[in-house]
Amino acid sequence: MTIFPLAGRFDPARLFSFKGGIHPETRKFLTSECAIEDMPVPTVLRVPLQQHIGVEAEPLVARDDMVLKGQLIGKARGPVSANIHAPTSGRVLAVGHFTAPHPSGLPVPTITIRPDGDDRWGDRLPRMRPESADPDEIAAQVAKAGIVGMGGATFPAAVKLNLRARYDLHTLIINGAECEPYLTCDDRLMRERAEEIADGIGIMARALGVKQVIVAIEANKPQATAAMERYHRVLGYALKIKQVPTQYPMGSEKHLVKTLTGKETPARALTAELGVVVHNAATAHAVHLAVRYGEPSISRVVTISGRGITRPANVRALIGTPVAELLAHCGGLAQEPERLLLGGPMMGQPIQNPRVPIIKGTNGILALAASETRDREVMPCIRCGLCVQVCPMGLTPFELNTRIKAGDLEGAARVGLLDCITCGCCSFTCPSNKPLVQTIHFAKGKLAEQESRKHQQEQAKRLAEARQERQEAIAAAKREAMAKRKAEMAAKKKREAEAAAAETPKNGETVK
């Protein structure tokens, strides 16, 4: 692994270390010097309605509708959701289901668009002057633009900007670490669009109402650091550029906060509880485009790399572009890949069908040759403890694996299953080549399924109890009404009897 000399404002005395982590070979040289290139409009776009954490968007178009670039075609539902916009102009071929860009290969609600080649814009969002805009207005604009965390987490950006209402925030951290091997899209974006990113950072800082801003870049990206250092102040905020050690998973939100502030985020808590919010550099660029120019989130920069690619590159592509067309744009496959991934080699998702589309959180497409993957026989665990040493969350992956294999998911949860960030450090370092992170992924899904089923059962029980209470209340009301009616009838009969008795003549009386 190549380590570049530390430069700029990096001060080791002001940084903190975290337990665990690894130093994989970065292999960023394949695309680090490849400038961002714009890909032509593809022949078809498949835009999933679920491109974010939270509830899927509600479709606003139907088959054969004509749409314009930037038009809202999927409306966010609920507090944690994101709008979906048409990446270009064209005709809607279908509103149905298509294979998800996910290892499961299951179909998800998708809007398929046939571009008309004109790339005509519809009505854009109104432009704003963030210097005088209210924080709520900025957050609302970001929500309208459908921006999510573009580092891969896909959490709706507006939700994070609104955390100022719940927490006492003081620091905004921009994550430019890009610690996954191969990926260089954020690196190139910071090199080529530093001014726009800096403006987006200032806009987010104003929306959050923080006091300081830190831009964190790994030490193996000196050109990106130099480019960002040219912008010391934006919208009244001083930008502190800090180089952080080249260590995986430095890009993890909680570990980046620990490195920069020394504060450790409690398990299953938000960094906002420490007064810190983390956003990705690409997200800052998207915010700049949305606020300054009214452009919704309809494209992103993707790194296409690996020995299986004929021409590795960094490409700006429209959301919904099929992976196959991106590969073709880069000259196609140089050889049959051993593994095709969306994302990086550590946390990326393997796919089998190259027809699946890229989404807002797709930062890479990797076609890895056999020489770039480990294809060794899985051996029994030797209890070496290496997985424990490298786990950045302080867990015991071999124990998790044992409990999961035995079907003890509750026991696995007790020893930290839900705290695992599935970074893959354990699998990477395991000498027995055990698929630890894959097993943990499976267990998390199984546990979520069980919790969902339990929640449904509890909900059904609550509904049944509520129905029983309603029926009992109705029956009690009927009994009470009947008792009241009987009492009224008895009282009426008594009054009638008394009246009749009063009118009956007594002995010796003469009825007039």
Task: List, as residue ranges, the binding site for [4Fe-4S] cluster.
Answer: 381, 384, 387, 391, 420, 423, 426, 430
How many CA within 13 A on the CB side of residue 408? 11
Distance CA 237, CA 233 (A): 5
The dihedral region occupied by 422, where left means phi > 0, alpha psi between -120 and 50, and beta the remainder, is left
Contact of 146 with 84, CB cutoff 8 Å: yes
Contact of 96 with 83, CB cutoff 8 Å: no
Provide the CA 397 distance to its chain's centre, in angstroms. 24
**Residue closest to 50 by CA, chosen among 25, 82, 98, 15:** 82
Distance CA 234, CA 291 (A): 15
Query: What is residue 400's three-state secondary structure?
Result: helix
Which residue has 């050889």 as its token pair?
335
How, if at all, do strands 212-218 and 171-176 pair?
Answer: parallel
Which residue has 């009214």 as its token pair?
294
Query: What is residue 28's three-state secondary structure?
Result: helix
- Residue set of the binding site: 381, 384, 387, 391, 420, 423, 426, 430
Residue 266: asked if its preceding bond is cis (omega within 30°), the reply is no
Residue type at position 290: A
Q: In what order do the strands lie in the sheet with 233-234?
A: 233-234, 237-244, 212-218, 171-176, 276-280
**Residue closest to 302 by CA, chosen among 387, 455, 183, 141:** 183
Provide the CA 170 distance to its chain's centre, in angstroms. 23
**Would you give the end-to-end CA distance of the chain in angstroms?**
127
Residues in the chain: 512
H/E segment holding residue 279: strand 276-280
SS3 per-residue string spanning 225-264: HHHHHCCCEECCEEEEEEEECCCECCCCHHHHHHHHHCCC
**Residue closest to 45 by CA, chosen among 19, 74, 18, 20:** 74
